[in-house]
Structures are given as structure tokens and as C-alpha cells.
Structure 1
């Protein structure tokens, strides 16, 4: 049975890292927020109640247990509309305790990266995220294969080392 994201993060004891490498994600639950963003709506960092959501509660709880939660995003520049949108609200993830870095794709050319986005939990469990060509989720796959975990750990750390902290990254 494939764990939910909640179960995945609840099971973490040391670390949970997430590598995202797509320029567009077409997730149904985001469509209304993306349209509001297109229409000019921006979340006010001071009005936490307006943007706090269950995912952020999960991050707070996970980080509160001492788990290091990090996300790295490899992005093409100039960035896509989706990445501009995503960057504009990513402060919410940081406010919840997630650490976030951005790496322009041109600076990742010599890195060995897996073919899919993933979560790596405690350096041993990989949850691959699969998408179709338009960025719609098509499913997940879980493995505890040591070689896959090693590849993901190495790839994530390479991206993390070169990445720009969220506070300093300005989408081009």
C-alpha cells in the first residue's frame, strides 16, 4: 500500500527531502488559487489565518519532532508562470519550518538527477511522483531500494549545495 503524504511525513524520524524538477504542475486543487493569483491576489505574510492550511500544520508537526524538512526546486529561466506563482506563496512553507532552495536549471547541467520528482524519507524510503506531459499527477511509486535511495540522496544534496535560499532567489 502506498503511504499518503501525511503518513510519509509522520513516519520520518530524521529527514524528509523533496526534489521538484518540473516547470509546470497542473494540480486540480491549486487551480482556484492560481486564478486568484493571476487576478492579482497575493497573500499577506502578516495575515497568517488567510493562507495557513493543513499541509503547513503537518510541516510544523514534523519539524517540531526534530525532522529536517527541505525542498529544492530546479527551474528553467526565465521561469514559467507556474513557478512565479509558486515562488510567490512559498514563504508559507518557510514559515511552517520547511527549508527551501531554488536552482536555475542551467546550473544543474552537470548533475546526475533522477527522471522524476521525489520525496526521500530518512535516507531510505523514496516516493517517486509521476506526472503526465502537461504536469498532471499520474500516481506515485514507493521503493526502499538502497541504490535508488542513494541516487536520490546524492542528487538532492548536489542541488541543495548549489541552490539559492528562498529569501535570496528572485525568479528571472
Structure 2
């Protein structure tokens, strides 16, 4: 399996035409012992969110062109500290034009099977997937590009199902 870097995956945002959708399934995206804004937040320190500026600038640009960028975050309740932090930072994403919804894991249908081995993925224009892969410690390894129509169709169906069931950020209480 060939993986592309996060930077290469982010280049996909330059070429999609209508819709980018991210399914997030992990309750923790932090890397142990990493000095990060999340670690500072956990310590109750003031966090400089300027690290998000390249992303929010890109989102403002894309959404000003009429493109949509959406996320569903499937989360365990009670929420992990990382998800609590994501919840606290979501207004920055939404302020840049992203649409974010939350879906408590216990509300998923019991018979639901996640495609692509239950990994997170970005779906671009219902035609291309960038599937995230992580190591055992939670470090991002990169993304696998999948354009197989059957796999993409599975993800489109799941996206539509989860988007309809998920709770908009402003209505979800962490």
C-alpha cells in the first residue's frame, strides 16, 4: 500500500470541485509525549491557535468559492480529553466555513460496518478517497488514495447516512 503525506493529501483540496467530507472515528489524535497545543490546553495554559491559520485560510478560500467542506466526528461518550479539546476548537473551523457535526458512537446502528477497515477518510467529490492510516501509538502514517468506484460508493452511502444522523455543532452538548 502506497501512502501519501499529509501535505500531499492537503493538495487534494486544490483540485476538488464541489464537496470534501471527512469522517473522523478516533477518540484521540494526539501523539504521546508530544509538545503541542493540545498538551498546553490540557495543562490549562493559554494556547496560541495561530497554527490553525493555514487551514482556516484554506477553508475560507474554498467555501468562498461555493465549495463545501464537512466533517462528521463519531465520538465515544463521555468524551476523551482530546475530543473535548476538538469540541472547544470547532468554532475556529466553523468560522472558516467548515460544517461539523457530532455523532455519539452509541447512536450508531448495531449492524453498521465501516468501509476501508474502519479508518478515517476524506471523500472528494464522491469520486476519490484519502484514507488515513495510523501506527499503534496513534501517529499518522499517511493517506492511501482509493478511487475504486465500489469502495467510493460505500463511503458515499455511509457519509449520507451519518450526516443525516449527526448533530450540528451548535446543537451538540459535549
TM tier, shorter chain? 0.7 to 0.9
Q: State TM-score, norm by structure 2.
A: 0.86
Count of aligned pairs? 166
Change (3 A) 1:117 1:156: same
Q: Which residue of 2 aligns with 1:96?
A: 96
SS in 2 for 1:79: coil
Q: Which residue of 1 aligns with 2:137?
A: 134
Deviation of 1:20 (Å): 0.4
SS in 2 for 1:90: helix
Q: Which residue of 2 aligns with 1:168?
A: 171
SS in 1 for 2:36: helix
Q: Which residue of 2 aligns with 1:67?
A: 67
Q: Which residue of 1 aligns with 2:156?
A: 153
Between the aligned partners of 2:27 and 2:78, the Cα distance in structure 1 is: 10
Change (3 A) 1:117 1:23: same
1:104-137 CA distance string (max 9 Å, x none): 0011133332211000000000000011233211
Deviation of 1:43 (Å): 6.5
Q: Where does structure 1 lack aligned partners over 5 or more consecutive residues?
A: none
Change (3 A) 1:50 1:138: closer
Q: Which residue of 2 aligns with 1:113?
A: 114
Deviation of 1:5 (Å): 3.3
Between the aligned partners of 1:72 and 1:63, the Cα distance in structure 2 is: 17
Alpha-carbon RMSD across the aligned residues, in angstroms, is 2.3
Q: State TM-score, norm by structure 1.
A: 0.87
Between the aligned partners of 2:160 and 2:31, the Cα distance in structure 1 is: 27
SS in 2 for 1:4: helix
Q: Where does structure 2 lack aligned partners over 5 or more consecutive residues?
A: none
